Structure 1
Amino acid sequence: MKIKELSRRLPASGVSCLLGLAVCACGGGDATPTTANEVATMKAVAAVSLPTTYSIVNLATSGWASPNGINSTGQVAFRDFISPEHAKFYDGTTVQDLGTLGGLASMSQVVNNSGQVAGSFVTQLDAYHAFLWSQASGMLDIDTFASRFSFPTGLSNTGQVVGQGVSNAFSWTQAGGMIDLGTLGGGTYSIAYAVNDLGQVVGASTNASGDYRAFKWTTAGGMVDLGTLGGPWAFAIGVNNSGLVAGYSSTANLPHAFAWTQQGGMIDLGATGQAFATAVGDGGHIVGYHYPPTGPYLRGFVWTSATGLTEVGTGNVAVMRAVNKNGHVAGSDYDSNGTPHATVWTQQDGLIDLNTRIPGAPPGLVLYEGTAISDNGSIVATSNVGLLLLKPGVVSNAAPVVGPIAGNDPVAIGSPVTVSVNFSDSDSSDTHTATWAWDDGSAAMAGAVSESNGAGSVTGSHTYGAAGVYTVSMTVSDNTGRSSTVSRNVVVYDPTAGFVTGGGWIMSPAGAYKNDATLAGRANFAFVSKYKKGATTPTGNTEFQFQAAKLNFHSENYDWLVVAGARAQYKGSGTINGTGDYSFLLTAVDGNLVAKGTPDRFRIKIWHYDADAKADVVDYDNQLSSSSDGTVNEGTVIGGGSIVVQKN
Structure 2
Amino acid sequence: MFLLRRKERFDTFFSVLLFQIVLTPLFLSGVSWIIANPSQAAGASYTIKQIGELPLGATHVVRTANEGGDIVGTIKRSGRSGPKGAIWEDGGERSIVQPRPNSDYSVALGINDDNQVVGSANTETGMRAYRSIGNSSVFLELPSGDNSSAAITVNGLGQVVGWSSGAGGIRAVTWDSAGKVKVLEKLQDSNACRALVINDAGDIAGTCDFNSGHRAVLWKSASGKGVTDLGMLPGDIWSVPADINNKGDIVGTSGDAEKHRAVLWPKGERAIKDLGVLTGRVSSKALGINTKGDVVGYSEGGNSSEHAFIWTSKDGMMDLNNLLPANSGFVVVHAIAINSKGDISVIGYDESMNPERHLHDEQIPLRIFRLDNNTLLN
Q: Structures share a fold, TM > 0.5?
A: yes
CA distance in 1, matches of 2:254, 2:300: 27
Are residues 1:128 and 2:127 paired? Answer: yes
Q: Which residue of 1 aligns with 2:346?
A: 380
Contact 1:373 1:380 (8 Å CA) reproduced:
no
Q: Which residue of 2 aligns with 1:54?
A: 48
232, 242, 249: which one pairs with 1:244?
249
Note the alpha carbon deviations across 1:533-577, whole angstroms, 9 max, x for none. xxxxxxxxxxxxxxxxxxxxxxxxxxxxxxxxxxxxxxxxxxxxx
Contact 2:280 2:303 (8 Å CA) reproduced:
no
Q: Which residue of 2 aligns with 1:266?
A: 270
TM superposition shift of 1:373: 3.1
TM superposition shift of 1:162: 0.4
Give the match's secondary structure for 1:65.
strand
Are residues 1:224 and 2:227 paired? Answer: yes
Letter in 2 for 1:122: N
Give the match's secondary structure for 1:11.
helix
Note the alpha carbon deviations across 1:469-502, whole angstroms, 9 max, x for none. xxxxxxxxxxxxxxxxxxxxxxxxxxxxxxxxxx
CA distance in 1, matches of 2:326, 2:176: 41
TM-score for the superposition, normalised by structure 2:
0.67
TM superposition shift of 1:390: 2.7
TM superposition shift of 1:204: 2.8
Q: Which residue of 2 aligns with 1:108?
A: 108
CA distance in 1, matches of 2:264, 2:293: 18
The higher-RCO structure (CA 8 Å, 6+ apart) is 2
Q: Which residue of 1 aligns with 2:198?
A: 195
CA distance in 2, matches of 1:375, 1:250: 28
CA distance in 1, matches of 2:348, 2:235: 36
Are residues 1:73 and 2:77 paired? Answer: no
Contact 1:113 1:157 (8 Å CA) reproduced:
yes
Change over 3 Å in CA distance of 1:382–1:152 after alignment to 2 = farther
Note the alpha carbon deviations across 1:373-392, whole angstroms, 9 max, x for none. 33341423143323412343
TM superposition shift of 1:165: 1.5
TM superposition shift of 1:344: 4.5
Letter in 1 for 2:62: A
Q: Which residue of 1 aligns with 2:360?
A: none
Please tell me whether Structure 1 or Structure 2 has the larger radius of gyration of its CA atoms. 1
Change over 3 Å in CA distance of 1:324–1:250 after alignment to 2 = closer
Change over 3 Å in CA distance of 1:205–1:333 after alignment to 2 = closer
Change over 3 Å in CA distance of 1:113–1:228 after alignment to 2 = same
Give the match's secondary structure for 1:120.
strand
75, 80, 87: which one pairs with 2:85?
87
Pairing 1:12-411 to 2, within 5 Å after superposition: 12-13=18-19, 50-61=44-55, 62=58, 63-66=60-63, 69-82=64-77, 83=80, 84-100=82-98, 101=100, 102-123=102-123, 125=124, 127-135=126-134, 137-145=135-143, 147-166=146-165, 167-175=170-178, 177-185=180-188, 187-205=190-208, 214-217=216-219, 218-220=221-223, 222-226=225-229, 228=231, 235=239, 237=241, 238-246=243-251, 259=265, 261=267, 265-269=269-273, 271=274, 301=275, 311-317=276-282, 319=284, 320-326=286-292, 328-332=294-298, 338-344=304-310, 346=312, 347-348=314-315, 350-353=318-321, 356-357=324-325, 366-376=331-341, 377-383=343-349, 384-392=364-372
CA distance in 2, matches of 1:382, 1:5: 29
Give the match's secondary structure for 1:157.
coil
Change over 3 Å in CA distance of 1:171–1:317 after alignment to 2 = same
Contact 2:51 2:90 (8 Å CA) reproduced:
no
CA distance in 1, matches of 2:14, 2:338: 26
Give the unaligned 5+ runs of structure 2: 1-8, 22-39, 350-363
Give the unaligned 5+ runs of structure 1: 16-45, 272-300, 302-310, 395-648
TM superposition shift of 1:56: 1.4
TM superposition shift of 1:241: 1.4
CA distance in 2, matches of 1:335, 1:211: 22
| Percent of paired sites with the same residue | 18
CA distance in 2, matches of 1:223, 1:371: 30
Give the match's secondary structure for 1:168.
strand
Q: Which residue of 1 aligns with 2:27?
A: none
Letter in 2 for 1:353: N
Contact 2:73 2:109 (8 Å CA) reproduced:
yes
Letter in 2 for 1:386: L
Q: Which residue of 1 aligns with 2:357?
A: none
For these two proteins, the number of residue pairs brought into alignment is 312
Contact 1:64 1:382 (8 Å CA) reproduced:
no
Q: Which residue of 2 aligns with 1:8?
A: 14
CA distance in 1, matches of 2:213, 2:301: 39
Letter in 1 for 2:270: M
Q: Which residue of 1 aligns with 2:361?
A: none
Letter in 1 for 2:187: L
TM superposition shift of 1:129: 1.2
Give the match's secondary structure for 2:114.
coil
Contact 2:193 2:208 (8 Å CA) reproduced:
yes
TM-score for the superposition, normalised by structure 1:
0.41
Change over 3 Å in CA distance of 1:12–1:330 after alignment to 2 = same
Note the alpha carbon deviations across 1:330-359, whole angstroms, 9 max, x for none. 444569974444454554594331793596
CA distance in 2, matches of 1:205, 1:333: 25
Contact 1:243 1:261 (8 Å CA) reproduced:
yes
TM superposition shift of 1:198: 1.1
Change over 3 Å in CA distance of 1:176–1:359 after alignment to 2 = same
Give the match's secondary structure for 1:241.
coil
TM superposition shift of 1:87: 0.4
Change over 3 Å in CA distance of 1:48–1:88 after alignment to 2 = farther
TM superposition shift of 1:110: 1.1
TM superposition shift of 1:317: 5.0
Contact 2:47 2:372 (8 Å CA) reproduced:
yes
Give the match's secondary structure for 2:324.
helix
Change over 3 Å in CA distance of 1:189–1:314 after alignment to 2 = closer
CA distance in 2, matches of 1:90, 1:109: 13
TM superposition shift of 1:368: 3.2
Letter in 1 for 2:346: V
Letter in 2 for 1:388: I
Contact 2:214 2:238 (8 Å CA) reproduced:
yes
Change over 3 Å in CA distance of 1:221–1:85 after alignment to 2 = closer
TM superposition shift of 1:13: 0.5
Letter in 2 for 1:175: A
Letter in 1 for 2:265: A
TM superposition shift of 1:226: 3.4
Change over 3 Å in CA distance of 1:212–1:96 after alignment to 2 = closer
